[in-house]
Amino acid sequence: MRWVVINNINGWIILDKQPGVTSRKAVTKISRILNIKKIGHGGTLDPMATGVLPIAVGEATKCISFMQNKSKKYSFVIKWGQKTDTDDAEGKILENSNVRPTKDQIFKIMKFFTGRIYQKPPIYSAIKIDGDRSYKLARNNIFVKHEPRQVEIHQCILKKIINSDLAEFEVICGKGTYVRSLARDIAEKLNTKGHVISLRRHYVGDFGEKDTIFIDFFKEIIHSPSILKKMLPIEAVLDDIPALALNETEARKLKLGQKIQFNSLEFKNKFLIKHPNFQEFEKICATRNNNLIALVKIETDLVKPKRIINMKIEGKYDVDRKE
C-alpha cells in the first residue's frame, strides 16, 4: 500500500455530476478518494440531473450555507402529455393528456413563473418530515402532502420548441426551488400534463461549468500537484461578504474562541468606510493578512466568533486503491 499525503485539504471541488448518481453518492466517492470525512455538498442535484455540484472539503464545510443561498441556473426539457409520481422520467405515469401547447401559449403564461411564487415540492424529495426524508416515506407508500413554499424565480424562459412533445426551458432561481415542480406547474397552467426528462445545472453563484471536473479525471490527478489547480479556495464562496481585517493579537484571541472589542480594533475605521452597511449581514469574514480565520457576528461592541476556520487538516490517498 502506497500513501500520498496531501496537506491542507480545504476548499471546493466543483464536480460535473453525471446522470444516475445521487449527490450523496458523489460526495462519498470524493470522500473515499481523498480519505477524508469532513466533506459535504452545496445543494442537492436529482439523480437524473447533470452539472455543477459544489463539494466542500475540510474547513469549507463551514461555509456550505453560504453556497446554498446562491442563485442557480438550470436548463430543462419538459415532455408534454404525461404526469408522473416523481415529476420526472424516472417515475410512474399517473395521468395523460392530449393537449400540446403552442409557442405563443407558452410565452403568455411565463409571466406567472417569475418573481416570488409558491410551489409544492415533489413527493419524492429530500425534504424531512419528522426526521425522515420525503422520498423514503414515499418509497414505503407513505405519502405526505407538502404545503406550498415560497421560492424566488429570477428568470424563466422558453429556449426552444424541440417538437410537439418536447420543449426546453431555462431558469435562474434562488434557494429551495424544485425544477421538477416548476415543470409540473408550467404544464398545469397550460391545461396539460408534463414532467422533466432532462435537467442540467449550469452554475451555483460564481461556480460554473468552467470550474468543473469529472470524478474519473479527479481520481487520475489526485496524487499530483494538479489537484491544487482544480480546487477552489474556501473564500471563493464568500466574495460578496464584508471582510474585517485583524492584527496578530486580535486574530489570536478570535482563533481561541474569545470575543474581541469592535471599537478597539486597529483597522475598524477602514472597515466602516468600506462596509457602512455591515450590520445587514448575518455573518462577516474575519481575516489576517488576507487569510480567512473565522466567520463572525458583530453585536453592539463585540466581535463574536461563529465559525473558526482551522486550515491544518490533512488528507491522504492510497494510490493503489481500486475504486
Residue among 46, 87, 185, 211 flagged as catalytic: 46
Residue 82 near residue 93 (C-beta atoms within 8 A): yes
Q: Grid coordinates standing for 310?
A: 482551522
Closest alpha carbon to 252 in 300, 305, 297, 306: 305
The DSSP code for 213 is B
Residue 69 near residue 29 (C-beta atoms within 8 A): no
Task: Kindly give, in sequence order, each residue whose CB lies less than 8 Å from that of residue 269, ignoring residues fewer than 6 positions away.
Answer: none
Write the DSSP assignment of 62-94 as a string of letters: GGHHHHHTS-EEEEEEEEETEEESSSBTTS-EE
**b/e per residue, 127-143, with b = 16+ CB within 10 A?**
beeeeeebeebbeeeee
Task: Kindly give, in sequence order, each residue whose CB lies less than 8 Å from that of residue 140, ignoring residues fewer than 6 positions away.
Answer: none
Q: What whole-number distance in Å separates Cα of residue 242 and Cα of residue 276?
A: 10
The DSSP code for 262 is S
Q: What whole-number distance in Å separates Cα of residue 319 and Cα of residue 223?
A: 7
Q: Specify whether 46 is catalytic.
A: yes
Q: Grid coordinates standing for 98?
A: 392530449
Closest alpha carbon to 294 in 233, 231, 239, 243: 243
Residue 292 near residue 12 (C-beta atoms within 8 A): no
Among all residues, which ones are annotated catalytic? 46
